[in-house]
Amino acid sequence: MESFKKFLLSAETGCSCNFKRTKNCYPSPVLHALKKADGSSQVTMPLSKTATKEQQKILREEINAGLAVQPIAEKMIELRKQKRNLDKALERCEKELSRIFDDNNTNSMEIKEGLLIRRSSSGKTEWVIEL
């Protein structure tokens, strides 16, 4: 073991293993290392010689579905973060507008684009620009 210490990275860097469990598949890290020889990002895996071509196709589709889902899920997460930030920024603007409107004891003011109107109903404030 001493001779291998200089090669052991996991003790220093930790592990980030995430092996998806797929029906009828053994959850092995080797499966994640197998790629098509043509360099595509589709994962291939050894199948039993008794499996039909259709069964092999279905299994490959199940495994590769995760590859298609991951970037979409990441984009959705990023968009939700951006939406939260936009919602917070809009809330700050609306509070500032409400303060200005309250200070001027009004529910409408002229702006370049038209008339900015504050409407309140059921405890909610709506901002409308009439052209």
The answer to whether residue 12 is domain-embedded is no
Residues 88-116 have pLDDT tens digits of: 999 999 999 999 999 999 999 999 999 99
Please give the residue range of the domain that contains residue 50: 24-105
Q: Which residue has the tokens 């405890």?
A: 123
In angstroms, the CA 6 to CA 56 distance is 41
The answer to whether residue 101 is domain-embedded is yes
- Model's pTM, two decimal places? 0.51
How many folded domains does the chain comprise?
1
The answer to whether residue 123 is domain-embedded is no
The answer to whether residue 59 is domain-embedded is yes
Q: What is the mean pLDDT of residues 1-13?
A: 49
Q: What is the mean pLDDT of residues 62-78?
A: 88
The answer to whether residue 60 is domain-embedded is yes
The answer to whether residue 28 is domain-embedded is yes
Query: When comparing pLDDT for 120 and 38, which is higher?
Result: 120
